[in-house]
Structure 1
């Protein structure tokens, strides 16, 4: 099974765009903040909870020729386990198609563990992996699957980020495209761009700020006798 050349072009575009944003972030002097303020930054600009929504495209590697790119979108929720790790659940709706032969709607319910490489910076790459359930419309066929992917995020305002990501999905079934052929199971890709909304963690932030030395504590006024 060959991956469409259009997919490789799209992946190349994702990589080039990632480097462009990295260069932009550096030019804008997005510097890593001081160690004492890292956690405060995290809860100011990110947070303990995340809601995400994204839209993009999907493409199948199956038993038929001329795979096409079709519409895909997702919504999800994530919970921060630490500034670097979070765990989340996403609902994905997408189509998989071959030109003039096959076009079918699917959905997947994915659980992922995500690693954010630079949680204390405005720009951060991330990677994720997990498992889930893949299902056609009306659940006429279902199968478990594994997925993994990568992308990057830019914080554009406190509590709000923009993301671009790609994931690879390996389905434990060879009937995804309606054909059973060959020894390998069917797989598909998704490329998505969207927004993340962070919230929560205010109590942790207040606790962090209380623990930081203030000007008064660092330079106490001593009364003269």
Structure 2
């Protein structure tokens, strides 16, 4: 189990490094913003409010061998306090399983603080962390937890973005898999693909603009009179 768990962690770490390298290369090739203020671009591309959705897989790291990758869904709401920082609340539904041992359904309610690294770019890495409440189906078993993760978001149209993300969840209980053994509590990983719907921010954009327009922020100077014979 230790070898397989280590392999999973290494694969996730490698994936994170690869994603970061990809987004760095893409951002280097993107032209600099033509806006007079880069923070205006955040409200053009994104917004202050976000409806988040996602689908992916979850895998257990507990007291048994041979964990299985199972289905995972999420939905939530995120509010950006600034273009860089947002607070999100989300609901997650997933299964955790071990081969030939058990396959149970779980849910979690997560509260996270998120940092968007490049809010004025179409492609940006992000990281997040927070606390949550974990429960089995019908709330037969419950426990608090802490989580942290990250990913990459790409705005494909103004107000619409897709993302790849992963998170690590540490449950403050060692009976998540039905067995209390070892010195550490149970943990699990989630990896997913998300679609984010942005809206709002018109008032903040107007305040940042301060009455400026594209015309008067890019002054056009007349050409000097030509000397003709």
TM-score (norm 1): 0.88
**Alignment check: 8 A CA contact 2:23 2:152 kept:** no
What displacement does 1:208 show?
2.6
SS at match of 1:5: helix
Task: Tell me how many residue pairs correspond in the alignment.
Answer: 218
Q: How does 1:15-164 map to 2 (within 5 A)?
A: 15-26=17-28, 29-33=29-33, 36-164=36-164
Describe the shift of the 1:140–1:35 C-alpha distance in structure 2 as closer, same or farther (beyond 3 A).
same
Structure 1: tracts of 5 or more residues without a match: 221-225
What displacement does 1:12 show?
3.0
How many Å separate the matches in 1 of 2:194 and 2:215? Answer: 41
1:177 lines up with 2:177 in the alignment:
yes
The one of 9, 12, 36 equivalent to 2:11 is 9
How many Å separate the matches in 2 of 1:99 and 1:80? Answer: 41
1:193 lines up with 2:178 in the alignment:
no
CA RMSD of aligned residues (A): 2.2
What displacement does 1:24 show?
4.2
What displacement does 1:114 show?
0.2
Structure 2: tracts of 5 or more residues without a match: 222-229
Describe the shift of the 1:58–1:199 C-alpha distance in structure 2 as closer, same or farther (beyond 3 A).
same
SS at match of 1:152: strand
Deviations 1:150-196 (A, max 9, x none): 11111111011111111000000001000011121000000011111
